[in-house]
Amino acid sequence: MRRRGPATRLWLDLVMLIVVGLVFVVPFAFIVLMASKTSQEAATFSLALPSQFRLFSNVWDVIQFRDYRMLLALWNSCLLTVGSVVLVVLLGASLAFVIQRRTDRLASFASAMVLTGLIVPPAVVPTIFVLQKLGLYKTLFGLIFVEVALQLPFTMLIMRAFLASIPRQIDEAALIDGASSWQLFGYVIFPLLRPAIITVVVVTAVVIYNDFTLPLYFLPGAKNVTAQITLFSFMSQFTNQWNLLFADVLVITIPPLLMFMFFNRQLVSGLTSGSVKG
């Protein structure tokens, strides 16, 4: 096979850098630009620089809008995200360990049923009826259970792929030393799942935090507002405050952006660690 020369690799890197800039950097720069303008200038959707730089004042207006509604929304989103991610990791890791280590028909059937959730879309109306019967409708706990049910198949897929790379001899050695099944999972297997756990935490946290439709359906009410629902605050039938809307987008984008920047290396490691067995 013919190797690429330094000039070819340089051109490929330059092309990839341009593509990444167009796909990620340019939209984020457009959001910052629109959030820095006045209401009249933002309504034109032009790429011209603002006559008055109002980014910080617009962000402050968004935060203090309706008695600091944004702070309540961020708090609710954090509670929803943290609660859902904790349950997803614990349930997904334990279920993946049992299903991956067992080879009987029951384990295969359970795996098929769980992974069916990747294909079958959620049923909104029946889920609302179930939550109403349980007294969990319009509560964070009810939405947490819905988010866990939807994110569990993806978690199982990641965890099982990583568990396949952990030799069974580790299980046998722990059992010979007198460890129970719970001790084997809690003290031996679970710490080894750290790369997969970080991957699940980052991906599911961003998905749940950025979820717009489920809080809209299952968590109505002013006190239950989440970060994504606040986008409705600056849109009406006749007028739209585009500068405040883009400032709102900028505020709710910062937490997942910081998470990706902090866990970037661990995320790539977790996605690739289960791809090769052995």
Count of residues making up the chain: 278
- Look at residue 21 and tell me if it is in a domain: no
DSSP assignments along the chain, one per residue: -PPPPHHHHHHHHHHHHHHHIIIIIHHHHHHHHHHTS-HHHHTTT--SPPSS--HHHHHHHHHHHHHHHHHHHHHHHHHHHHHHHHHHHHHHHHHHHHHHH--SHHHHHHHHHHHGGGTSPP-HHHHHHHHHHHT-TTSHHHHHHHHHHHHHHHHHHHHHHHHTTS-HHHHHHHHHTT--HHHIIIIIIHHHTHHHHHHHHHHHHHHHHT--HHHHHH--SGGG--TGGGGGGGB-SS-B-HHHHHHHHHHHHHHHHHHHHHSHHHHHHHHHHTSS--
- Look at residue 25 and tell me if it is in a domain: no
The structural domain count of the chain equals 1
Please classify residue 24 by burial: count the beta carbons closer than 10 Å to its beta carbon, then call 0-12 exposed, 13-18 middle and 19+ buried.
Answer: exposed
Taking CA atoms, 19 is separated from 12, 15, 180, in Å, by 11, 6, 52
Please classify residue 8 by burial: count the beta carbons closer than 10 Å to its beta carbon, then call 0-12 exposed, 13-18 middle and 19+ buried.
Answer: exposed
Q: Which residue has the higher pLDDT, 264 or 235?
A: 235
Task: Please give the residue range of the domain that contains residue 166.
Answer: 67-273
> Quick check: 189 and 100 in contact, CB under 8 A?
no
Q: Which residue has the higher pLDDT, 111 or 163?
A: 163
CB within 8 Å of 51: residues ≥ 6 apart: 38, 41
Residue reference for tokens 């505020």:
251
Confidence of residue 275 (pLDDT cuts 50, 70, 90): very low
Distance from C-alpha of 147 to C-alpha of 117, rounded to nearest angstrom: 12
pLDDT in tens, 10-26: 788 788 888 877 888 88
Taking CA atoms, 189 is separated from 16, 43, 186, 195, 214, in Å, by 38, 55, 6, 12, 33
What pLDDT does 238 receive? 66
> Quick check: 69 and 230 in contact, CB under 8 A?
yes
The CA dihedral of 138, 144, 147, 148, to the nearest 10 degrees, is -150
Helices 26-35 & 55-101 angle (0-180, nearest 10): 140
pLDDT in tens, 37-56: 998 899 888 888 888 899 99
- Is the pLDDT reported for residue 272 higher than 60? no
- Is the pLDDT reported for residue 28 higher than 80? yes
- Look at residue 143 and tell me if it is in a domain: yes
pLDDT in tens, 236-261: 766 788 999 999 999 998 888 887 77
Confidence of residue 124 (pLDDT cuts 50, 70, 90): confident
Look up residue 201 and give its amino acid.
V
- CATH number reported for the structural domain that contains residue 239 in this entry: 1.10.3720.10
Q: Which of 71-85, 154-168, 258-272 has the weakest average pLDDT? A: 258-272
Q: Tell me what the mean pLDDT of segment 197-211 comes to.
A: 90
